[in-house]
A and B are shown apart, each in its own frame.
Chain A
Amino acid sequence: MMFTVPMKHLNAAVLQKDVPAVTEELLRLGSLDAVSVGGLEGSRTTPGARVGGQDIQRLSSARKRIEGLMRLANPPLPRGDPATYLGEDPPLIAEVEKRLDAFAARLQSIRQRQAEVQERMLKVLDLKRQVEAQGDQKRHDHLSGSSLVAMKSGSVPEAGMKSLESAFSSLPALILKDAGSSQGRISILVVSLKRDEERIKELLDRFGWKAEEKGALRSQAYADSIKEIEERKAGLEKILENFQNEYAAAVSEKASDLARDWGRLRVAELSQKLNSGFRSTESVCLISGWIPREETADVEAGIKKASQGRCYVEWAEPEDSAPPVQMKNPSILAPFQALVTNYGIPGYGAVDPTPFVAVAYLCMFGLMFGDAGHGAVLAVLGFAGMTRAKRRGTSDTLVRLIFYCGLAAVAAGFLFGSFFGFKLFPALWFDYHRAVLGQTTGGAQKIGSIYDILGITIKFGIGVLGTGFLINWVNLFRRKEWRALALDKAGLAGGWIYAAGTYVAFYFVDHEYRSLPNLGTLALILGIPTLLLGLNAPLARAMRREKEKQGVLGLAMEFLMEWVVEILEVYSGYLANTLSFMRVAGLGIAHVSLMSAFFQIARSIHPQGGFSVAGILVLIMGNILVIGLEGLSAGIQSLRLNYYEFFSKYFDSTGRAYAPVSLRNID
C-alpha cells in the first residue's frame, strides 16, 4: 500500500504438449503480465504457442454479443464464473455464432409477430378514438355528417357472413349484426373510417351487399361499437402481454446456455491472448512475464503442477528492465486510486500516492463544503448511486467518491457547527458562519475572521506540499538518484528553500509585515540552498560524461541561465503553489456567503420573524443550488489541487500499469 507492488520476472520453458494445461493454470492464477519474448539468438523460434487457436477477434466479438444478449433480460442475466469452464474443450466459434444467430432470430420473430398484433391494435385504437370523438348517437341526430366515421346499414347473404367478418378483421372497421336473419340475408351495420370508404364499399360489394336503412341497429351503434372495440382491444392486449411473456421466457430459457457459451468463449479468448505472448520452438514453449513478488511461489507451483514437473522456471529481479506497476490498496480507496491512475501511472517502486490523495482530497472537500446537512444529501445520493451501480453491474467509482465526499462534508459540518446553514449543534472546532460574517469579536473562538480561515488553508497547503517533498525524497532515495535528491528543485535543496521561505513568510507576518529575519540568517537559510541549486545542472552534465561542443564560456553562460530560471521557478512557483490553497478558503467562504444570502432573502420575505412558506421555498431552492454548484466546484478544486500542486512535487508518471491476463478481467 505504501509503495507500488514489487515484481519479479518469470522465464519458463514448458513442453508444447503441456501448453494448454499451463495456460489454463496461469489464467486461473491471473497473475502473469506477459512479455513477448524476442527471438532467441541462434534458435528457430516463432511467436505464439503451437496450440490450435481460433480467430481472437471472432471470439471476442461473439463473447461481446452474448454480453449484449444477456443485457436484454430484465434484470440482466448473470455471466457466471468463467473459471468453471477451465479444462473444457474450447467452443467452436462457428457453432456458437450459429446458435446466437438462431437465438437472435427467435427473439426477432417474436417482435415481428408482436408488430403485426400491434398494427391491429393501432387500428382498433384509431377506430375507438374516432368513434368516441363522434359521441353517442342517442345524443346526436346523425352519426355521420361531419364526422370522420362512416356508417352503412344493409344486409349480406348469411352464407358469406363468416368470410366477410374474416376480411374485415384486418381493417379499422366493425360489423354490428342484427339478431336473426330474413330470407337468407343478415342485417348488418358497418362502422368504418371515412378514409377507407372506397375499400369498404368494394369489399362489401364482393359479398353481395344491399344497402338498407336499419334504424334499430343505428340506435345502438355507439354502445355496440364501443363494446365491440373494447372486447377487441382487451383481446389484443392479452396477446401483446403474451408476447412479452414469450420473449422473457425465451431469454431466460437460454440463460444457462448463454452463460456457458460466454464462459467458454472467455476462457478461449484469454488463452489465445496469453498464448500470443509466448514463443515456441518445435517442442518447447517459452513463457515470459511479470508476476507480483508475493505470488511467485503460487505461480511456480502452478506451472510445475500443470506440466507435471516437465518445466524449467527461472526468476529474475527487475534491474534494467521496466516492470509494470501495480498499486495495491484496500477496495475502500478504489475511487482515489482511480483519480491517481487518471493522472498517470507512477514509476515502478515509487510511493503509491493513493492514501495521501484520499486524505488530502477529503480534507480539502470538507473544508470547502463543510455542512453536515449538505454532506448528508451527497452521501445519500452517492449511496443510492452505489446501490444502482451494483444492481446494474456497472462501475461505482464516481458515486462512491461522492459518498465519501458527503461523509467528509458531514464530519466538517460537525467541526464547523453547520446543518443546512442552521446552527443546530455547537461547532467542535470553530463556527465557520460566524467567522465569515465577522460575528466572533470578544468570544472564546480563536478563528474569528476570514483572514484566520485563509491562514488555516495556507498552513494546510504547506502540509500538503511538504508531504509532496517527503514523498519525492523517498522516491529519489529508493531510485538511488543522489544528485537529484540533494540538488533538484524538489529535492533536499528545494525543500530547504521551501521550509526557509515558509519560516521567513511567517516571521514577516508575525512582525506585522514590518521586518524580515536579519541578513545573516537569510543568507544562511536561503542563500546556501539557492547556491546549491546552481550546482545541479553542471553536475548532471558531468555525470552524463558528454563531450562538450560549446566552449567553457558558453557552457558557463548556459549553466547560469539555467540557474536563474530555476531560481525564478522555485521562488515564484512554490509561492504560487502555496497561495493556490487559498481557494480552499475561498470556496468555503463562498459556501457560507451563499447560504447567508438565501437566509437573508428568506427572512426579508417575512420580516416579522420566522419563515413564511415562500421563505422556506427560497431556503430549499438555495440549498439545492448550493449543493449542486458548490459540490461540483469543491470536487473540481480538490482534484485540481491534488493534480497541479501536490503531484507536481513528486509524481513521475512514467509507469506502465500491471495488466495480467486473468479470468477476473472485465472489458
Chain B
Amino acid sequence: MSKVQEYGYLSAKLKARMSSFISEDRKNQIIQSKSLQEAFIPLRDSSFEDLEGIYNATGDIKAVEAALTDKETQLFGALFPHLHGSALAFIQALAQEAELGTLKFALRLWFDARVRGRPIDDRAAYLHFDYDALLAAGDAQGVAKALGKGSYSSIVAGKVAETLKTGSLFELETALDRSYFDGLFLALEQLPPEEAKAVREFVALEVDIYNITCLLRLKRFGNFPAERAAGYLIDFGNSTSPGDLFARYETGNFTALLAGIAGRPAAKPESSGLRDTDMAKFALLERILRRARVEKAKKIRGKNPFSIGIVVAYLVLAREELSLVKTLLNAKYYGFDEERTKNAL
C-alpha cells in the first residue's frame, strides 16, 4: 500500500477536522464570559456543543470533565480503523497515555479510600465501572486481581505492596509511566525510518514534558538523593542525560536546566518567569515545552500529508484543544477573571 493510499483519506479527514478547531475568537469569548453557564454559549455550533447539555442536565463540572476525557479516548479510537501495521501500533502506544491516566486516577482513588480513609464518592462518580473492582479491593492481592490480565496489571501487582508500605504512589506511578514510554519507544523503532523521523521530535518533547513534570513532583516531595531521583527520569537520548539534567536541577540553575532539557529555539524562557519561585519556573518550562509541541504540530500540518506525522500532529492539536476547553471551563467554575484565566492557559 502506497503512502498516499495509506494516509490520503485519513489526512483529508484530519485536516478538515483541524480546520474546525476552536477559533481564537471563540476562545476569547469564553475567556470574557462572566460565569460558567455563560462560558458554554460560545461553544455552541462547535464539536463541544454537547457539553452545555451535559452541564445543564447535571450542574456538575465533573460531568463535563468526564465528557472531555471520553472525547480524548474517542480521538484515538476513531483513528485506529484507518491505520495499519507499525503506524497503528505506534498510535496505539500513544493512546496508552490516556488509558494510563485513567488507571493512575483510579489507583489514587483506591489509595485515598483504602489507605488514607478519605471519601472518594464525588471523584469516583464519573469513573468507568471497569474500575469498580479496583476501588473495592481491600489489599495488594485484591488490586492485582481486580486489574486481571490488563496491560499494566503485572506492574501494579509488583509495586502495590511497596506502595502500601511506603504510603506513596510515586514509585508505582513512575513504573507505569516508564512502561508507557518503553512501549512508545519500541513502537517508534518499528516504524519505517522516514516515518520514525517524522515523529521522533514529538516523542522527544513528550519525554521532556514528562521529565519536567517528574522533577516538579520531586521538588514537592523534598530532598531526593540525586542518583535515585535521576533514575525516575526517562532517557530518550536527548542532548542532556537524565543524570546531568538532575544535577542542573539540584544547582537551582533554571537557565542551565532549560538549556539542558530542550535546547530548542522555541524553548526560550520569558524573563519574567525567571524571577518567580522554583515551582513557577517549572510550570513555565512545562508551558514552553507544550507550546513548542503545538508549534511543531502546526508546522507539520502544512508539510507532507501522507505520513504518520499528520496523525500525530492532529492528536497533539486536538488534545491541546481539549485541554484548553477543560482549563477555560474550570477557570470559569472557580470564578477566575479574564487576566487570571489567560495566565492559566
Q: Which residues of A contact B (CB under 8 A)?
A: 61, 65, 68-69, 71-72, 100-101, 104-105, 107-108, 110-115, 118-119, 122-123, 126, 129-130, 148, 171-172, 193-199, 202, 243-244, 247
Q: How long is the Cα–Cα vector from A110 to B37 in the complex, in angstroms? A: 11
* Contact partners of A243 in chain B: CB under 8 A: 59
Residues from chain B with Cβ under 8 Å of A107 in the complex: 35, 37
From known contacts A114-B59, A119-B121, A195-B110, infer whether A72 and B41 are also in contact, taking CB-CB under 8 Å.
yes
Within the complex, what minimum Cβ distance (angstroms) separates A443 from chain B?
A: 44
Is B129 on the interface with A (CB-CB < 8 A)? yes
Instruction: Say yes or no: A65 contacts B129, CB within 8 Å.
Output: no
Q: Is the CB of B136 within 8 A of A195?
A: yes
Name B332's closest neighbour in chain A (CB-CB).
Answer: A108
Whole-angstrom CA separation of A118 from B125 in the bound complex: 10
Q: Distance in Å from the Cβ of A358 to the closest Cβ of chain B?
A: 28
Interface status of B132 (Cβ within 8 A of chain A): yes
Whether A198 and B117, one on each chain, are in contact in the complex, defined by CB atoms closer than 8 angstroms, is yes
A123 touches B125 (CB 8 A): yes
A-B CB contact pairs (8 Å), 6 listed: A110-B59, A114-B58, A115-B61, A148-B132, A193-B135, A196-B121
Docked CA distance A389–B271 (Å): 50
A-B contact count (CB 8 A): 86
**How many of chain B's residues have a CB under 8 angstroms from any CB in A?**
33
Task: Supply 12 further A-B pairs (C-beta < 8 A) apart from A72-B38, A199-B117.
Answer: A61-B32, A68-B41, A104-B35, A104-B37, A108-B35, A108-B36, A119-B122, A126-B124, A126-B125, A130-B132, A148-B136, A202-B117
B residues near A (Cβ < 8 Å) are 32-38, 41, 44, 55-56, 58-61, 63, 110, 113-114, 117, 119-122, 124-126, 129, 132-133, 135-136, 138
| Consensus secondary structure, chain B interface | helix
Verify B58–A115 contact, CB threshold 8 A.
Answer: yes
- The CA-CA distance from A107 to B35 in the complex, in Å, is 9
User: Assuming A111-B55, A118-B58, is B120 touching A195 (CB within 8 A)?
Assistant: yes
**B59 x A113 contact (CB < 8 A):** yes
B63 & A118 in contact (Cβ 8 Å cutoff)? yes
Q: How far is the CB of A240 from chain B (nearest CB, A)?
A: 8
Q: Nearest chain A CB to B158's CB is how many angstroms away?
A: 23
Nearest-neighbor residue (CB-CB) of A61 within chain B: B32
Given contacts A115-B58, A118-B60, A243-B59, contact A123 B38 (CB under 8 A): no
Q: Please name the residue on chain A nearest to B115 by beta carbon.
A: A198
Q: Specify which of A111, A118, A148, A171 is in contact with B133 (CB 8 Å cutoff).
A: A148
A148-B136, A172-B121 given; A129·B58 CB < 8 A = no
Most interface-central of B61, B110, B124 (chain A CB within 10 A): B124
* Residue pair A111, B132 in contact (C-beta under 8 Å): no
A101 / chain B contacts, CB cutoff of 8 Å: 34
A100-B34 in contact (CB<8A):
yes
Nearest CB of B to A290, in Å: 30
A424 to B119, CA, bound (A): 72
Contact across chains for B38 and A111 when beta carbons are under 8 A apart: no
* Residues in chain B near residue A115, CB distance under 8 A: 58-61
Q: A111 and B37 in contact (CB under 8 A), knowing A118-B63, A193-B136?
A: yes
CB of A245, distance to nearest CB on chain B (Å): 13
**CA distance in complex: A104, B58 (Å):** 17
- When distances are taken between beta carbons in the complex, the residues of chain A under 8 Å from B121 are 119, 122-123, 126, 171-172, 196
- Chain B residues near A122 (CB, 8 Å)? 121, 125-126
Tell me whether B113 and A195 are in contact (CB under 8 A): yes
By a CB distance below 8 angstroms, the chain B residues around A100 are: 34
Shortest CB distance B134–A (Å): 9
Q: A199 to nearest B CB, angstroms?
A: 6
Q: Is the CB of A129 within 8 A of B129?
A: yes
Measured CB to CB, the closest approach of chain B to A113, in angstroms, equals 7
Alpha-carbon gap, A119 to B124, bound state (A): 10
Q: Which residues of A contact B133 (CB under 8 A)?
A: 148
Nearest chain B residue, comparing its CB with the CB of A111: B59
Supposing A111-B59, A123-B121 touch, asked if A194 and B138 sit within 8 A by C-beta, the answer is: yes
List chain A residues, Cβ under 8 A from B120.
Answer: 195
A104 engages B132 (CB within 8 Å): no
Residue numbers in B under 8 Å from A104 (CB-CB): 34-35, 37-38
Q: Which of A105, A195, A244 contacts B35 (CB 8 A)?
A: A105
B146 nearest CB across to chain A (Å) = 10
B129 with A71: CB separation less than 8 A: no
Chain A residue numbers with a CB within 8 Å of B44 are 71
CB pair B60–A119 under 8 Å, yes or no, is: yes
Chain B residues, CB < 8 A from A119: 60, 121-122, 125
Question: What residues of A have a CB within 8 angstroms of the CB of B63 in the complex?
Answer: 118
Residues from chain A with a CB closer than 8 A to the CB of B38 are: 65, 68-69, 72, 104
Task: Output the least CB separation between A505 and chain B (Å).
Answer: 40
Q: What distance in Å separates the Cβ of A129 from its nearest Cβ neighbour in chain B? A: 7
In the complex, how many angstroms separate the beta carbon of B243 from the nearest chain A beta carbon?
41
Which 3 pairs from chain A and chain B are nearest by CB? A114-B59, A111-B59, A194-B136
Chain A nearest CB, measured from B341 CB (Å): 15
Chain B: minimal CB distance from A89 (Å): 25
User: Considering the chains assembled together, what is the distance between the CA atoms of A657 and B121 in angstroms?
Assistant: 60
CA distance A293 to B188 in the complex (A): 72
The CA-CA distance from A196 to B133 in the complex, in Å, is 13
Contact B59 A112 (CB under 8 A): yes
Nearest-Cβ distance from residue B221 to partner chain A, whole angstroms: 26
Contacts of A110 in B (CB 8 A): 59
Closest to A117 in B: B59
Question: When chains A and B are docked, how far (Å) is the Cα of A114 from the Cα of B2?
Answer: 55
- How many angstroms from the CA of A202 to the CA of B118 in the assembled complex? 12
A199 to B135, CA, bound (A): 14
- Give the chain A neighbours of B126 by CB distance below 8 A: 122
Q: Which residues of A contact B58 (CB under 8 A)?
A: 114-115, 118
CB distance from A324 to the nearest CB of B (A): 26
Which of chain B's residues has its CB closest to A116's CB? B59
Could you say which residues of chain B place their CB within 8 Å of the CB of A65? Answer: 34, 38
Contacts A119-B121, A119-B122, A198-B114: A108 and B60 contacting too (C-beta < 8 A)? Answer: no
With A123-B121, A194-B138, A195-B120 as contacts: A108 and B37 at CB distance below 8 Å: yes
Complex-state Cα separation, A72 to B56, whole angstroms: 10
Least CB separation from A133: chain B residue: B132
In the complex, which residues of chain A have a beta carbon less than 8 angstroms from the beta carbon of B36?
108, 111
Are A196 and B35 CB-contacts (below 8 A) given A115-B60, A122-B125? no
